[in-house]
Amino acid sequence: MRFIDLNDEILEILNRHSDWFFSQDLSELHIDQRGQSDIEHAQSYEYLKEMMAKPMGKKEGEHAGPPEVVRNSHFGPGSRNPQKYKDESIRFNDELVKFLGARQSAVHVYYPEDGYMGWHNNWDVPGYNILFNYNTGDGWFQHWDGEIIHTLPDWQGWSAKVGYYGGQDEPFWHCAGGGPRITLGFVIPDKGMWEMMVEDIT
């Protein structure tokens, strides 16, 4: 994954959302806690080794792709957040989808200060990624290159990272956390289309 600079046109769209979001009473949000963990454990090398030891698959005891330990607030299907946040998420996603030419977002979540997604690899949805983050705290993204863990601290305000998440043959192990921060991600199967999207926002 690598950072890219964002142009004024995409920043205007992103800022409309973050201005609205951080003007709300965020104590209203429902924070999802999945799995027995905390932020230190979720990003630890010990937990990464535990996850990598699991076979990849959809059966019990296998790693299905999404994170198995989570502390954040999501706005997609099944969200337990107030309706105004879900409505704003739909509006924001629609605006970004039309601008980017993407089909839909893959993730839209809010991390409180102690929020996280533990190590996982998304082998079930391989493709080229665009990951938008709005950070007002100490947000970060980590990935494993097969030898060492790389930590990418979020830039303050809006930033974007791009890269490729492989399937079962080349899994891209990663985790994220810290905050307060917003994350919105898109997965694009076609490399040429992804390259055009990246060009449009830089």
pLDDT in tens, the chain (202 residues): 999 999 999 999 999 999 999 999 999 999 999 999 999 999 999 999 999 999 999 999 999 999 999 999 999 889 999 999 999 999 999 999 989 887 768 899 999 999 999 999 999 999 999 999 999 989 999 999 999 999 999 999 999 999 999 999 999 999 999 999 999 999 998 999 999 999 999 9
Strand partners, 8: none
Strand partners, 111: 181
Q: Position 68: which residue type?
A: E
The count of structural domains within the chain is 1
How far does CA 93 lie from the centroid of its chain?
14
* CA triple 153-156-158, angle to 5 deg: 105
- Domain, as residue range, for 113: 2-201
**Residue 44: half-sphere exposure toward Cβ, Cα within 13 Å:** 10
Residue 162 to residue 198: CA distance in whole angstroms: 8
Residue 112 to residue 134: CA distance in whole angstroms: 12
Q: Counting every residue, how long is the chain?
A: 202
3-state secondary structure of 78: coil
Q: Which two tokens stand for residue 111?
A: 């991390």
pTM metric for this prediction: 0.94
What CATH number corresponds to the domain at position 46? 2.60.120
